Amino acid sequence: MIVMKFGGSSVADAACMGQVEALVRAALPQAPLVVLSAMGKTTNALFEAARTAEAGDLPGALAVQRRIMAAHRRAAGELFSGAVPEGLDTALTEHFGELELLLRGVALLRELSPRSMDAIASLGERLSTRIFAERLGAAWVDARMVLRTDATFGEAVPEPESIRGLAARLLAPLLGEGRVVVTQGYIGATEDGLTTTLGRGGSDFSAALFGAALGAREVQIWTDVEGVLTCDPRIVPEALPIPELSFAEAAELAAFGAKVLHPATIQPAVEARIPVTVRHTQRPAGRFTTISSEVRTGRPITALASRGPVTVLTVSSSRMLAQSGFLARLFEVFGRRGVSVDLVATAEVSVSLTVEADVPLKPLLQELTAFATVEASEGRAIIAAVGERLKSTPGLGARLLTALGDINVEMISMGANEINLSLVVRADQADEALRRLHRVLTEAA
């Protein structure tokens, strides 16, 4: 069997759903499990409704709810030529009733807990899959019955062993040649049945988890691009498609800002040795990218990615010199405050590192300055060059740095990973840096 995941843009309206239906019907011999995101901007609208209710504006929240309801009923009406089946109509009514009750509760308490937000956000995927499953005449499975997670609401951590057992019991018997099962991405539930979400972009993660649990032959991520490109085409219009990526390359690109994949998507597929393909919903016969643990591309540079803004912290102290325990004390501060450190570069008496721009910087700096001098440089970006022969190609690093010309590189990280060279530049120079580096990429290909 295969897993076919379709994002929000692929199921944005009735016309888009019709295109997805054709793709799924063509895949019937492969016993597809279809994983859908919410329609279009539905998740954003649900967040808007929840926050409006939290502010005490119940009429405003219910107005957003009616807007969501109208869009889904309109899509259902178009798919069924105005004659929406009674069972689907009942299911939609129940879901919208649930949403209204949740919004009223939030407005009454003027409190929006992560647990309540997950319950509200889950409605998007449940609505889109109800409509699509009815259109296909397919089995509909509530992902919350299968995708078991912990209780970290908003960023739930899946429990693969539990998922494997539940998938074998609840999904596998429904799958077979000529049959389709439709379920949701992004959402799961705790053992106690509390609704959770995997974080924004988590539908790809869901697809990989289901694929690993069921031993799928392939996980297909259907989106609005023809696979993974050598750079963001909005920045570098001449970006090229990449036919194949190794899992290591894909993971690095995802972690450093490539928009096609959710970083956590990669790991379940890596462990199960399942290839992942990234395909264009409206161009199914077009180019696509295959990501596999079996791929060895051997390219000096495969692609470029960027992430920002980030903040560079340079921590200096003479106590670092020939003293044990300084770095342990330094990183203990970040660990205690739950701040993730990305790039790290060390010198004799200083350490430079990058953190996300939205970290609580003031209390972090106050604690660090108790034992060191700290300089913070905000508004920076990380540019990552990824390729299997990046480190082993003589002169390539020099060519990359030379290509940047008058763009100052404030930090360089390479060595912990042979396939990634990371450079830190000012965020307002990141796009131009990508364009210059991409010219080196095409010359090295």
Burial class of 407 by CB neighbour count within 10 A (0 to 12, 13 to 18, 19+)? middle
Q: What is the C-alpha to C-alpha distance for residues 7 and 11, in angstroms, rounded to an integer?
A: 7
In this prediction, residues 140-152 reach a mean pLDDT of: 98
By the 8 A CB rule, do 126 and 163 touch? no
Average pLDDT over residues 11-34: 97
Asked if the structure places residue 297 within a domain, the reply is: no
Q: Looking at residue 199, which CATH number applies to its domain?
A: 3.40.1160.10
What is the extent of the structural domain holding 347? 303-444
Asked if 255 and 266 count as a contact pair (C-beta separation under 8 A), the reply is no
Q: Same domain for 35 and 181?
A: yes
Asked if 185 and 47 sit in the same domain, the reply is yes
| Residues 156, 119: Cα–Cα separation, whole Å | 13
Residue in 170, 187, 77, 180 with CA at minimum distance from that of residue 125: 187
Q: Residue 362 contacts by C-beta under 8 Å, 6 or more apart in sequence?
A: none
Same-domain status, 197 and 329: no
Q: Among 223, 247, 272, which residue terminates a domain?
A: 223
179, part of any domain: yes
- CA of residue 89 relative to chain centroid, distance: 32
My answer on whether 207 and 346 are in the same domain is no
Q: pTM score, two decimals?
A: 0.84
Mean pLDDT of 105-115: 97
Assigned token pair, 188: 């799961």
Helix axes 58-79, 42-54, angle to 10 degrees: 160
Please tell me the total count of domains within the chain: 2
Q: Hey, is 337 helix, strand or coil?
A: coil
Based on the domain organization, do 200 and 55 belong to the same domain?
A: yes
Examine the domain organization and report whether 308 and 410 are in the same domain: yes
Distance (Å) of CA 64 to CA 31, 198, 351: 37, 24, 49
Residue 279 within a domain: no
What would the pLDDT profile of 361-370 be if each residue is shown by its tens digit?
999 999 899 8
Strand partners, 350: 316
CA-wise closest residue to 194 among 143, 142, 119, 127: 119
Inside any domain, residue 257: no
Same domain, 322 and 203: no
257 in Cβ contact with 305 (< 8 Å):
yes
User: Edge-to-edge strand order for the sheet containing 420-426?
Assistant: 344-346, 350-356, 303-316, 373-386, 420-426, 411-413
Co-location of 316 and 218 in the same domain: no
The CA distance from 53 to 76, in Å, is 27
Q: Domain of 404: which CATH number?
A: 3.30.2130.10
Q: pLDDT value at position 317?
A: 85
Which positions ≥6 away from 83 have C-beta within 8 Å? Answer: none
Nearest to 65 by CA among 54, 53, 76: 53
Over the stretch 185-208, which tens digit does the pLDDT of each residue have?
Answer: 999 999 999 999 998 778 999 999
114-136 vs 86-109: helix axis angle to the nearest 10? 170
Mean residue pLDDT of the chain comes to 91
Instruction: For residue 39, tell me if it sits in a domain.
Output: yes
Asked whether residue 157 falls in the same domain as residue 13, the answer is: yes
Where would I find the beta strands (DSSP E) of 128-262?
Answer: 139-140, 181-184, 187-189, 195-197, 218-223, 244-246
C-alpha of 251 from chain center: 11
27 part of a folded domain: yes
Which pLDDT band, with edges at 50, 70 and 90, does 420 fall under?
confident
Task: Tell me what the mean pLDDT of segment 63-70 comes to.
Answer: 97
Q: What is the pLDDT of residue 321?
A: 65
Domain assignment present for residue 412? The answer is yes
Residues 340 and 201 placed together within one structural domain of the fold:
no
Residue 174 has pLDDT above 80, yes or no: yes
pLDDT of residue 252: 84
- Residues in Cβ contact with 224 at an 8 Å cutoff, skipping those fewer than 6 apart: 7, 9, 10, 280, 281, 282
Domain boundary among 188, 223, 258: 223
Domain identity same for 17 and 161? yes
R_g (Cα) of the chain, nearest Å: 24
Three-state secondary structure of 252-301: HHHHCCCCCCCHHHHHHHHHHCCCEEEEECCCCCCCCEEEECCCCCCCCC
Of the listed ranges 64-78, 145-159, 401-415, the one predicted with least confidence:
401-415
Q: Is residue 245 part of a domain?
A: no
Q: Which of 193, 223, 253 is the last residue of a domain?
A: 223
